[in-house]
Structure 1
Amino acid sequence: MKTNLSSQITLTRIPTRYYRPENAFEHSVLTRLEKVPTTIYESMEEGSFAIAKEIATQIRKKESAGQKFVLALPGGRSPESVYKELVRMHKEEQLSFRHVIVFVEYEFYPLSSSTSGVVNRLKAELFDQVDILPENIYYPDGCMPKDAILEFCTQYEEKIQQVGGIDCMLLGIGANSNIMFNTAGTLQSSRTRMVLLEGASRKEAAATFSSTDNVPAGIITMGISTMLKARNVILMAWGDEKAAIMKETIEGKISDGAPSTYLQIHQNAKAVVDLSAAYSLTRISHPWLVTSCEWDNKLIRRAIVWLCQKTGKPILKLTNKDYSEHGLGELLALYGSAYNVNIKIFNDIQHTITGWPGGKPNADDTDRPERATPYPKRVLIFSPHPDDDVISMGGTFRRLCDQHHDVHVAYQTSGNIAVGDEEVVRYCEYLRDVCSKYSPSDTVIKDKADEIIRYLRYEKVENNEAERPDVLFMKGTIRREEARHACRYTGIKDDSHIHFLDLPFYETGLVKKNPISEADKDIIKNLLEELKPDQIFVAGDLADPHGTHKVCLDAILAAVDEIKDEDWLKACRIWMYRGAWAEWEMDHIEMAVPISPEELRHKRNAILKHQSQAESAPYLGDDERLFWQRAEDRNRATAELYRQLGLASYEAMEAFVQYIPLR
């Protein structure tokens, strides 16, 4: 089974020379706007391997000289693949950690238990799997007395100096430019200290705990000056969600409002990123500003959209002068005039718009994104969580139903951990009261409801342990019924068209999920072979903050890969939508479905059927808006961009990109 096909989705053909220059001259030309040396790899796996290999080389070099190697390590998701590779090197290549000293960069405070937090996670992912000496691991104690914190922080800095300073510091980066937990406003002179977790930092920390409410009040973190004193610093970043902040870090101005930019003044700092995280760097996203380009339709479309935004003009009003003054003279040479480029791109974008997402029957579909036949189509919408379908494509979902297609929805995970305890208490109280009224002699259900209420209100302790199965069942049931209600409201008449897959990887009762397995893939494969749809919609939102969307996409793509040679699948079209976190860039959009004001209202109502997620969902990310608000804002912004480019003006639009199975 191929387990990471989503990482091979290349929406933009990026020439290798942009991220792997052939010589020093080309490198200096391409990177002249970059202030931190940056190495770009095609995938997270390649980048992680390179980092692990470099660390291993430094460890062995120090060991051969009879010296200790001092390493500073972070928690979080970014370094997981690096730690996995270091463990492999230890087991298969005899990499020893006996001469390694580790300083953990931060720890949450106060922790309710020593079995939670960053250090416990690092033990599971690295320390307990290699031969590092326990006495060589230094870390903040999340359970220390409050009056010991100040002295500990001073001694932590002193201990770093006593062992000779940090040889290599490995860093991740937060969406708001945090380095470790040094947020906006942090001074360059900051050292190890206790900081309170507020706003975006608190929400970012929720990935380590079961919800934002369970995140400790503060964190003990190394400071910026601690980082600047390290002899080598490696900043790693993977995925679309890190693209914007990596551009600011590498190409922006140094500012305490973006602490990661302090890396620009470190003499031996470097960034290691995958292509997704590098997407917003000038040499990748706007290469015409630094080098000659290898033009294709998508790059031309991106350049024209950029030029329209720079000049404030719609496509058909761009002039030769606009092209020449903004570094796009190559396009004039290729097409002869601005008019020729303008009309080509205008028609290209116009042909993405369709009010018939399932294809318009009895119509010429030459310039339409979907085929006219067969009609009606059997459509299968995959939804990672029980609300992503209506959040991401609720208008298209409704239109497919209204246009009489045979629509099925498959919810890939139960979404149970995203239901707050108070929701379960409310439903259990309702269940208890109903039982008391209509079945007072049958106490089984009433007693179970009372037991769950008592546990959640008085007995539950947040210690990062897996949730109880009966509570998970209640939470999963709440989300199922909300999903059914939203499906019926949107237009599905038959409950047999609503499929709850409950993929096993998700059912851990914890924020941390299991890896994708054959069982996950087989569940999806069986459904595909049963339905044999003509059209499939999947979540292609790789910027999902907690990673479930990516795993769900990988499971679908793995199943598709195994049956891609079947005739029905060859004739099937697979469309990717994006979730509440971001929208497809204009140069990628291949189908845009207009949404009227009335349809947008229906979409909002469908989202609101998911009451448990309306205001208390624990994974809203850094965005303060509720799901329906950000969905509407995103859809309106897409429509507004089309209007600014000189196309028709709509209330809102949902956008899609076609996925072609890899051969």
Structure 2
Amino acid sequence: MKTNLSSQITLNRVSTKYYKPENAFERSVLTRFEKIPTDIYESVDEGAHQIATEIAFTIREKQKAGRFCVMALPGGNSPRSVFDELVRMHREEALSFRNVIVFTLYEYYPLAPDAVNSNLKTLQTMFLDLVDINKQNVFSPDGTIPKDTIFEHCRLYEQRIESFGGIDILLLGIGRVGNIGFNEPGSQANSNTRLILLDNTSRNDAAKLFGGTENVPISSITMGISTILAAKKIFLMAWGDDKAQMIKETVEGKVSDTIPASYLQMHNNTRVAIDLSAASNLTRIQRPWLVTSCEWNDKLIRSAIVWLCMLTKKPILKLTNKDYNENGLSELLALFGSAYNVNIKIFNDLQHTITGWPGGKPNADDTYRPERAKPYPKRVIVFSPHPDDDVISMGGTVRRLVEQKHDVHVAYQTSGNIAVGDEEVVRFMHFINGFNQIFDANSDIIDKKYKEIRTFINSKKEGDFDNADMLRLKGLIRRGEARTACTYAGIKSDHVHFLDLPFYETGKIQKSPISEKDVEIVRALLQEVKPHQIFVAGDLADPHGTHRVCTDSVLAAIDLEKSEKWMKECRIWMYRGAWAEWEIEHIEMAVPISPEELRLKRNTILKHQSQMEGAPFLGNDERLFWQRSEDRNRGTAALYDSLGLASYEAIEAFVEYIPL
């Protein structure tokens, strides 16, 4: 069972020529804009295996010489796959860590003495407790010390690193503001281990660990830039398209304290290890015509022309031969003979993505339409990670499919119960209490449960996780909202499915890994409905990670079913939600939304009342979900307009997924 297929989604099927050069000369040509040696891997697992192999080699070499191997390790998700591979090597290949010294990169501050969510405890759970490292060889900043001892504590931490001869191998992830460790923007190159105030984005990213942003400590004791740059070998890891822009800034941009990771350009033995998704903004992947001759295909040509339009601020049909020649695209003129020929091709290509019939138009020529005319009507499943992603991401398209008489099912993959505030439960508890009083419903069971829940809420402290009753109630609230929204959109009640995938139901923000049980639940629904169309979340930059796991569960189920007859007649479309939009060069179906339809979509989103102002995990973006959605849809329409295509109020966009 393949459970990481989302990591292999490459929207334009990048040629290996651009990320696996055959020799040193080709590599030097392709990487001319890159200031740090960067290795691009097809998957996270491949990259993690390579890093772990090099770490294991160093550890064993040090063992032969009777010396310690000193490592500095971060927490977070970036090193998780590397740790998993090292644990496997320990268990299956007898890799010992008895000679390894570990210094943790940072620790949150302040922490309670009995804190269970420290960075050190996370590292112990992920890695340290699973291998034979001597616990006395693990050192970490102390997040519980008094404030007046922090300066001396940091000085001694630096001194201890030096006493072991410095750091041999240092692993790094990269934060969404370009931080390494918790060296936030503004950190200086000469900074040592110190206390630093956390950026709001970093605190939001740590919300998983602490049960909400409000519970995350405001500071961290972190190794400084100077401490990091003193390491003999550094690996910077980044996986996923949410890291793509920061990787580009780090690898190709100028050294700047606004992107602390860019200081790694000053180190003579740093390697950047990324997957194709994290590499998507590097010049050799995103704009390969600027560094080499290209293997031109339709997607790459479209990408080049849209880029040229943005650069010249011209619509497609106004681009000239001069525009092409002056911006590194003369190859296209040689292939097509003139700018006019290229312009017409790409204009028509984009024009053909636009359709008011997302399920296909019956009794129509579908040669240039994104969806087939037959069969009609189609059976459709919309997979929604949380109980509102369907309407946020493609509410207009769902309504259009229903109105055009397709048989639409919506499958909510998780309960979304952790994203409901306690005040919502209190509101419903008041209703239950009032209902009982009005109708004299003297139920001892209800009265007892009401008192238990009120007692739990009143005694709940910051950081406490909900008990089973609270989680069930919160899940029930979200189910009710989802059913109301589906009814408003015209979906039949027996076509609304709540899958409650087990990976999510931990009661904590940190979820379990995807399992066979998750995949089989999705697979059973596919086998029952046998859809002609599947819509699945492609919003892999979701900061909480749930979307990626949900997508992996669907793709894994599709992979298991791909040889079935019904699957051969099925098309899979990926949508994006509140966090990002497809780049226009990748869009394969664009569904226009009228002003009236946009208003109806907003009303549908508003049916999810628990996800309005008081909802947890709204992130740094102060806009509500309906506002983000409308801005995104209007922005896509404006982009089509700027390229010289039809002008619409809004557009929902989709990319086709073709099983590997």
| TM-score range normalised by the length of the shorter chain | over 0.9
Instruction: Report if the CA contact (8 A) 2:212-2:463 is conserved.
Output: no
Gaps in structure 1 of 5+ consecutive residues:
none
Q: What's the counterpart of residue 63 of structure 2?
A: 63
| Residues in 1 aligned to 2:190 and 2:628: alpha-carbon distance in whole angstroms | 38
Q: Which residue of 2 aligns with 1:402?
A: 403
2:526 corresponding residue in structure 1: 528
**SS of residue paired to 2:358:** coil
1:471 correspondence with 2:446 = no
Paired residues of 2:384 and 2:410 also in contact (CA < 8 A): yes
2:575–2:655 Cα contact (<8 Å) kept = yes
> Which range moves more in the overlay, 528-537 or 427-436?
427-436
2:155 alignment counterpart: 154
In 1, the alpha carbon distance for the partners of 2:16 and 2:9 equals 16
CA contact (8 A) 1:30 1:291 kept: yes
String of CA shifts for 1:390-427, please: whole Å, max 9, x gaps: 11001111111222222111100101111122222222
Deviates more, 1:192-201 or 1:240-249: 192-201
- In structure 1, the residue matched to 2:95 is 95
Give the corresponding residue for 2:224: 223
Cα deviation, residue 575, structure 1? 1.0
> Matched residues in 2 for 1:117 and 1:490: separation?
44
Aligned pairs for 1:216-365 (under 5 A) are 216-365=217-366
Deviations 1:51-70 (A, max 9, x none): 11111111111221111111
Deviation at residue 461 of structure 1 after TM alignment: 5.2
- Residues 48-57 or 444-453, more deviating: 444-453
Aligned-partner Cα distance in 1 for 2:593–2:153: 58
Label 1:622 to 1:64 Cα distance change in 2 as closer, same or farther (>3 A). farther
Within a 5 Å distance, the mapping from 1:219-618 to structure 2 comes to 219-439=220-440, 441-460=442-461, 462=463, 467-492=466-491, 494-618=492-616
C-alpha separation in 1, matches of 2:135 and 2:203: 30
In structure 2, what residue type is equivalent to 1:311? T
Equivalent residue number for residue 131 of structure 2: 130
Counterpart CA distance in 1 for 2:44 and 2:337 is 41
CA contact (8 A) 2:362 2:374 kept: yes
Three-state SS of the structure 1 residue aligned to 2:433 is helix
Cα distance in 2, alignment partners of residues 616 and 182 from structure 1: 31
Residue in 2 that maps onto 1:37? 37
Query: Which is further off, 560-569 or 35-44?
Result: 560-569
- For structure 2, the residue ranges without an aligned partner over 5 or more in a row are none
1:118-174 Cα deviation digits (max 9, x unpaired) = 111111111111111111100122233333323211211111112111111100001
CA apart distance, 1:438 = 2.5
Structure 2 SS opposite 1:576? strand
SS of residue in 2 equivalent to 1:655: strand
2:655 equivalent in structure 1 = 657
- 2:22 matches 1:18: no
- Cα displacement (A) at 1:645: 0.8
Show CA shifts across 1:174-217 (max 9, x none). Answer: 11111111111112222212222342121122132221122122
Moved over 6 A (4+): none
Counterpart CA distance in 1 for 2:31 and 2:86 is 30
Distance 2:426 2:153 in 1: 41
Q: Deviations over 1:627-657 (max 9, x none)?
A: 1121111111111111111100111101111
Deviations for 1:222-265, whole angstroms, at most 9, x for unmatched residues? 11111111122110000111111100000011111111111111
* TM-aligned CA distance change 1:36 to 1:392, over 3 Å: same
Which moves more between the two structures, 601-610 or 126-135? 601-610
CA distance in 2, matches of 1:558, 1:405: 25
Match of 1:382, SS state, is: strand
CA RMSD across the alignment: 1.5
SS of the residue corresponding to residue 101 of structure 1 reads: strand
User: What SS does the aligned partner of 2:534 have?
Assistant: strand
One-letter amino acid matched to 2:41: Y
Contact 1:193–1:220 (Cα < 8 Å) also in 2? yes
Q: Which is worse superposed, 477-486 or 135-144?
A: 135-144
CA contact (8 A) 2:30 2:291 kept: yes
Matched residues in 2 for 1:234 and 1:281: separation? 18
Q: In 1, Cα distance between the equivalents of 2:41 and 2:460?
A: 48
Asked whether the 8 Å contact 2:176–2:202 carries over to 1, the reply is no
State the alpha-carbon separation in 2 of the partners of residues 428 and 382 from structure 1.
31
TM-superposed deviation, 1:16: 1.4
**1:380–1:409 Cα contact (<8 Å) kept:** yes
For these two proteins, the number of residue pairs brought into alignment is 659
Measure how far apart 1:329 and its partner are: 0.3
Question: Distance in 2 between the 1:8 and 1:380 partners?
Answer: 23
2-structure distance, mates of 1:454, 1:148: 40
Are 1:72 and 2:62 counterparts? no
Q: Is the 8 A contact 1:429 1:453 kept in 2?
A: no
**Aligned partners of 1:49, 1:622: CA distance in 2, in Å?**
34
- Distance in 2 of aligned mates of 1:489 and 1:154: 62
CA deviation vs aligned residue, 1:314-363 (integer Å, no higher than 9, x gap): 11111111000000000000011111111011101100000111111221
Shift of residue 276, structure 1, vs aligned partner: 0.7
CA apart distance, 1:41: 0.9
Contact 1:301-1:345 at 8 Å conserved across structures: yes
1:106-125 alignment to 2 at 5 Å? Answer: 106-112=106-112, 113-125=114-126
Displacement after TM superposition at 1:440 (Å): 5.3
Q: Distance in 1 between matches of 2:117 and 2:448?
A: 32
Q: How many Å apart are 1:373 and its aligned residue?
A: 2.0
Mapped contact 2:7–2:240 kept (Cα < 8 A): no
Distance 1:564 1:169 in 2: 42
Is the contact between residue 608 and residue 614 of structure 1 (CA under 8 Å) also seen in structure 2?
Answer: yes
Whether the 8 Å contact between 1:68 and 1:101 is mirrored in structure 2 is yes
Residue of structure 1 in register with 2:643 after alignment: 645
Residue equivalent to 2:205: 204
Amino acid at match of 1:298: K
> C-alpha separation between the residues in 2 aligned to 1:607 and 1:417?
19
- 8 Å CA contact retained: 2:505, 2:511: yes
